[in-house]
Amino acid sequence: MAGVPFDQLQGEIWYNGSFVPWADATLHVLTHGLHYASAVFEGQRSYSGKVFKLEEHTARLRTSAHILGFEIPYTDDTLNAVTVELLQRQDLVDAYIRPIAWRGSEMMGVSAQNNTINVAIAAWPWPSYFDPEQRLKGIRLDMAEYRRPDPRTAPCRSKAAGLYMICTLSKHAAEQKGFADALMLDWRGQVAEATGANVFFVKDGVIHTPTPDCFLDGITRRTVIDLAKRRGLQIIERAILPDEMAEFEQCFLTGTAAEVTPVSQIGPYQFTVGEIARTLMEDYEKLVNGRPNLDIAAE
């Protein structure tokens, strides 16, 4: 599928209650979700034919919609069932899944309480989010210009489409400089996250990670925290200032797309791909593929 535009892929997409041909899953140019970002989405991965933490992702999709003031017109059970069926119909085993819900085109303007809520789910093969060779060596991050906003100015606990505009801008700017991604600070100037993944640091065997008070507490983030605790590792969630990065020895990102990805550089700060990052990357890979590490307690 390399180089093929996403609107030209083959197969089916579940769209408002039916499986439709991929090319027919379209919307009107005057859709409210396009103009005003009244859309929420999820990113999910299937490993060895099973979607990892499907129920948690579906529940978060519903919560995100509720925060944006609309309700998804399908039950969680329905969405979960059609996701499983979609993978079967697409003949996919290892895949990326994208559910999305958005306000339709009945009203065009800021106010759109009566618009139809549309829901679609697509799935396609998608290997490593970052270059595999870079990932093993540790990816390089630039420092983003834009910052995560104050929770009083944006619905930061929703996985809402509009919140990713500054992520796209930041990642584009980083890639133009030869970096793989960018690290974003929050409105206070504290370390927040990468453009689509949470961040962790290691110092003296202790893992430090920013408190998710203005960005998503990722499902993968929580999973990796649990894996680390089962390893007997100490986790400290706290405010982290940028200049503290000079003292950290290791760094890694977590996310559904990023999985567990070591980081070798953030701006002027250098890190090693150490044992803790490598161990958690291996533990996560085993967990999502249904092969829990026998050295740690079962989930």
Query: Is 281 found in the same domain as 143?
Result: yes
**What's the sign of the alpha-carbon dihedral 187, 138, 254, 41?**
positive
Answer whether residue 268 is part of any domain: yes
Q: How far apart are CA 263 and CA 124, in angstroms?
A: 27
Residues serving a catalytic function are: 159
Query: Is 137 found in the same domain as 99?
Result: no
Give the CATH number for residue 13. 3.30.470.10
pLDDT surpasses 70 at 132: yes
pLDDT of residue 255: 96
Q: Structural domain of residue 239, as residue ranges?
A: 132-288
pLDDT surpasses 90 at 298: no
Domain count, the chain: 2
User: Per-residue pLDDT tens for 70-127?
Assistant: 999 999 999 999 999 999 999 999 999 999 999 999 999 999 999 999 999 999 998 7
- Provide the percentage of residues in the chain whose pLDDT is more than 70: 97
Closest CA relative to residue 50, chosen from 93, 98, 97: 93
Residue whose structure tokens are 């041909």: 21
Termini Cα distance of the chain: 35
Answer whether residue 224 is part of any domain: yes
Q: Which helix (H) or strand (E) holds 220?
A: helix 219-230
Answer whether residue 117 is part of any domain: yes
The residue among 69, 96, 124 that closes a domain is 124
List 71's β-bridge partners, or say none: none
Answer whether residue 107 is part of any domain: yes
Closest CA relative to residue 228, chosen from 162, 276, 181, 167: 276
Closest CA relative to residue 253, chosen from 214, 225, 293, 221: 221
Query: Is 255 found in the same domain as 214?
Result: yes
Kindly report the average pLDDT of the chain as a whole number: 94
Answer whether residue 80 is part of any domain: yes
Q: How far apart are CA 201 and CA 67, in angstroms?
A: 31
The residue among 124, 151, 167 that closes a domain is 124
The residue among 124, 156, 173 that closes a domain is 124
pLDDT surpasses 50 at 49: yes
User: Per-residue pLDDT tens for 185-220?
Assistant: 999 999 999 999 999 999 999 999 999 999 999 999
Q: Is 125 helix (H, G, I), strand (E, B) or coil?
A: coil
pLDDT of residue 2: 57
Query: Is 174 found in the same domain as 32?
Result: no
Answer whether residue 298 is part of any domain: no
Answer whether residue 229 is part of any domain: yes
At a CB cut-off of 8 Å and minimum separation 6, what does 190 contact? 210, 239, 240, 241, 242
Query: Is 179 found in the same domain as 89?
Result: no
Query: Is 87 found in the same domain as 62?
Result: yes
Higher pLDDT, 299 or 37: 37
Q: pLDDT band at residue 181, thresholds of 50, 70 and 90?
A: very high
User: Per-residue pLDDT tens for 219-231?
Assistant: 999 999 999 999 9
Closest CA relative to residue 254, chosen from 241, 246, 263: 263
Q: How far apart are CA 89 and CA 191, in angstroms?
A: 42
Give the CATH number for residue 232. 3.20.10.10
pLDDT surpasses 90 at 130: no
User: Per-residue pLDDT tens for 9-31?
Assistant: 999 999 999 999 999 999 999 99
pLDDT surpasses 80 at 131: no
Query: Is 90 found in the same domain as 27?
Result: yes
Q: Which helix (H) or strand (E) holds 95?
A: strand 95-103
Answer whether residue 295 is part of any domain: no
DSSP-derived secondary structure for 170-186? HHHHHHHTT-SEEEEEB
Query: Is 278 found in the same domain as 144?
Result: yes
Q: How far apart are CA 194 and CA 126, in angstroms?
A: 20
Query: Is 89 found in the same domain as 220?
Result: no
Work out the number of other CB atoms within 10 angstroms of the CB of residue 28. Answer: 10
**What's the sign of the alpha-carbon dihedral 280, 63, 196, 45?**
positive
Query: Is 143 found in the same domain as 111?
Result: no
Cβ neighbourhood burial of 39 (10 Å; 0-12, 13-18, 19+): buried
145-171: average pLDDT: 97
Query: Is 54 found in the same domain as 13?
Result: yes
Q: pLDDT band at residue 295, thresholds of 50, 70 and 90?
A: low
**Tokens, residue 21:** 């041909």
Query: Is 272 found in the same domain as 163?
Result: yes
